[in-house]
Structure 1
Amino acid sequence: MARDPYTVLGVSKSASESEIKSAYRRLAKRYHPDTNADDPKAQERFAEVNGAYEIVGDKDKRKQFDRGEIDADGHPRFTGGYQPGGGSGGDPFAGFGGFSGFSRGAGGARGGEAGAGGGANRTWRFTSDGTSGVDEILREFMNGGGRGGTGRQSGFGSGGGGSERGADLEVVVTVTLEDLASEDKLRVSLPTGRTVDVTLPAGAEPDQQIRLRGLGHESLTGGPAGDAILTLRIAAHPIFTRDGANLKLDLPVTLYDAALGAKVRAPTLTGSVNITVPPGSSSGKTLRLRGLGLPSKAGGKGDLLVTLLIDLPRELPDDFLDMMREWREDHPYQPRSPG
């Protein structure tokens, strides 16, 4: 009888699906026959790992095993209900009720399982939905047989289309607005240890995914590698906000620059530029600097929208306050709508 599958994989009975899958991948890679051709013990261990994963890696079989309905070989456990009559020439399962899902095929008993009656070898397979297991039995023969050979096959082996594609690798990548604006490729380090240079798509959006073909997990069966799937996160910027391909910036200016007009410096993602503040500019006035935004999906670049904010000093001189009082008396105006 096979060992407890949890023990074989080195996980607890409360292990999650991802923990079980991770343990299986690690052990299968370690003991795979392709890398242990001269080590029969490794091949036996590989078969044992595959057999264990067939039980606890399958949700339904795992539940059946945990309830004690099947054993570590995947065979149903019988607790009673046997009626005499099996005999050497009868059906050894004829007396068991409540199991309609048995199928049997001629030849090829698994790993020395004796067939019923006169030593004739028969393979028995239980399926929970009551359907025939003939297809599964044929698939076992196509993939190299059962336990009597190098191990129970689970998509492994070189024949019968057994090579499987490696698993995809999912990676979250946080990028900055400077990254999106740059024409340089972004260097990304993958969990596999590989470093790749990635071209960010124009107009990239948060949670957008980039698929890198063949850069995922290696196949354990000689098949093609999986893909690396990058999910983009866009980091908040300390001074710019994003509006599609446009960027927005709040720019503090002095009262006298706003009143008299001036040339002032304004930051962009690639450096600073001079902008013209028109005379008599109010706080909240927006200036558009064309082509200084982010790359657009439609081609070209968006704009930088600069909103002027008049900034008064913390301490206002007395003569300035006197002038404001005089101005209020002589030149009153209403910036807000009445009411």
Structure 2
Amino acid sequence: MATRDPYSVLGVSRSASADDIKKAYRKLAKLHHPDLKPGDSANEERFKEISAAYTLLSDAEKRARYDRGEIDPSGQERHAGFGPRGRTSRGRAYSGTADDSAFNGGGGDDWFSDLFGGGRRRPGTAGAGAGGGSAGPKVRGSDISYSVTVPFIEAAAGAKRRINLSNGKSIDVAIPPGTENETKLRLKGQGLPGMGGMPDGDAIVEVHVEQHPYFTRQDSDIHVELPITLNEAVLGATIHVPTISGKVAVKVPAGANTGSVLRLRGKGVMNQATKQPGDQYVKLKVVLPDPPDAELVKFVEQWAKTRSYDVRKKAGLE
């Protein structure tokens, strides 16, 4: 099959900058790396074609010679009298393919190492024997993303969730106490396998925390609005308040009002940085009987004849 125009292979224009060419190559190489599709010969050939195109275009001198028509897409000389292993205008030995020329004393940069983080290797090889090389590229395995959803209380207290990995394994993931929504947990070595002795990738687990019907969270503190009766507000009372760890007895002081806040120390969620729990804030809300109590209405009518107080003026609303 004839070698295609390297610009077309990488999907860039002839005026593309060196940075544009590198970005296009990185994108394509990561999509078509043989490690992602083992045994796919067509994909391996595509990867070799991409690598050869980048090898030619990433070398400023070779790119210029290609643009002038002095060499073809495979790197072979176009001038008459020059064979597949002829000499360039500077008299240096020049290989018959762009893939070989990058490693034939040309002194180019370690573009493959720069992409995958390993040592210099012949591009387009997927392991020993692929493309004629004796060793495959050093490539760290890719990370894989997963997501789990946990209830509010479980995220606050800590929990475990089992996930099925792409390699068929199932593992239990520990959700630390105090985990916030969209927290990302990294599981070392649970991603795609590495190549050439490089480490495997990681599994990145994003935790989604469900909303709670009455608890809300601000940093490490828990907030809740708690209804109380008129008599509890006027006379005071000991009531049971829900927390993320269960109900606790709390004393409502006599004369409590809507908007009054009680603080429960240490009843928030664990702060992973300080390893100390936050607090819970209980905002009181006085609720009248529903339906209205006739005897209470009669009492208030009589009470209001001799006693009154202006709540709006005090709040600056009059």
Superposition TM-score tier, normalisation by shorter sequence: 0.5 to 0.7
Match of 1:323 in 2: 299
Q: CA deviation at 1:217?
A: 1.2
SS at match of 2:300: helix
Q: Structure 2 CA distance, aligned partners of 1:145 and 1:298?
A: 48
Q: Structure 2 CA distance, aligned partners of 1:248 and 1:254?
A: 20
Match of 2:277 in 1: 301
Match of 1:288 in 2: 263
Q: CA deviation at 1:221?
A: 4.7
**Aligned match of 1:105 in 82, 93, 107?**
93
Q: Would you say 1:158 and 2:155 are equivalent positions?
A: no
**Aligned match of 2:169 in 194, 199, 216?**
194
Q: Which amino acid aligns with 1:210?
A: L
SS at match of 1:152: helix
What's the Cα RMSD here? Answer: 4.7
Q: CA deviation at 1:225?
A: 0.6
Q: Which amino acid aligns with 2:81?
A: G
Match of 1:54 in 2: 51
Q: Structure 1 CA distance, aligned partners of 2:32 and 2:82?
A: 44
Q: Is the 8 A contact 1:104 1:134 kept in 2?
A: no
Bigger share in helix: 2
Match of 2:81 in 1: 87
Q: Is the 8 A contact 2:33 2:44 kept in 1?
A: no
C-alpha offsets along residues 110-156 of structure 1, whole Å, 9 cap, x if unaligned?
Answer: 59x9xxxxxxxxx656xxxxxx944479x9xx857999x94437xx8
Q: Structure 2 CA distance, aligned partners of 1:53 and 1:259?
A: 79
Q: Which amino acid aligns with 1:195?
A: S
Q: Which amino acid aligns with 1:50?
A: F
C-alpha offsets along residues 298-320 of structure 1, whole Å, 9 cap, x if unaligned?
Answer: 22312221111111233213332
Unaligned runs of at least 5 residues, structure 2: 6-25, 59-65, 113-119
C-alpha offsets along residues 261-314 of structure 1, whole Å, 9 cap, x if unaligned?
Answer: 223232222332332222221111111222221012322312221111111233
Greater shift, 226-235 or 254-263, is seen at: 226-235
TM-score, length of structure 2 as denominator length: 0.65
Q: Is the 8 A contact 1:104 1:124 kept in 2?
A: no
Identity %: 28
C-alpha offsets along residues 187-241 of structure 1, whole Å, 9 cap, x if unaligned?
Answer: 4444444333334455544444332211111125553211222344433222111
C-alpha offsets along residues 23-68 of structure 1, whole Å, 9 cap, x if unaligned?
Answer: 655764125xxxxxxxxxx6xx57524314436899x79xxxxxx9
Q: Structure 1 CA distance, aligned partners of 2:151 and 2:92?
A: 62
| Equivalent residues in 2 for 1:170-249, closer than 5 Å | 170-201=145-176, 203-221=178-196, 223-249=198-224
Q: Structure 2 CA distance, aligned partners of 1:190 and 1:277?
A: 51
Closer/same/farther in 2, CA of residues 255 and 222 from structure 1, 3 Å limit: same
Q: Which amino acid aligns with 2:154?
A: D
Runs of 4+ residues deviating >6 angstroms: 17-20, 55-58, 91-94, 144-147
TM-score, length of structure 1 as denominator length: 0.62
Q: Is the 8 A contact 1:103 1:124 kept in 2?
A: no
Closer/same/farther in 2, CA of residues 46 and 240 from structure 1, 3 Å limit: closer
Q: Structure 2 CA distance, aligned partners of 1:248 and 1:30?
A: 56
Q: Structure 2 CA distance, aligned partners of 1:200 and 1:271?
A: 20
Q: Structure 2 CA distance, aligned partners of 1:55 and 1:184?
A: 50
Match of 1:169 in 2: 144
Q: Structure 1 CA distance, aligned partners of 2:91 and 2:267?
A: 71
Q: Structure 1 CA distance, aligned partners of 2:32 and 2:124?
A: 23
SS at match of 1:266: strand
Q: Structure 1 CA distance, aligned partners of 2:213 and 2:53?
A: 49
Q: CA deviation at 1:245?
A: 1.2
SS at match of 1:105: coil
Q: Structure 2 CA distance, aligned partners of 1:256 and 1:103?
A: 102
SS at match of 1:325: helix
Give the total of aligned pairs.
Answer: 277
Match of 2:290 in 1: 314
Q: CA deviation at 1:329?
A: 1.7
Match of 1:272 in 2: 247
| Equivalent residues in 2 for 1:109-148, closer than 5 Å | 109-110=96-97, 133-135=106-108, 143=121
Q: Is the 8 A contact 1:28 1:220 kept in 2?
A: no
**Aligned match of 1:255 in 209, 215, 230?**
230
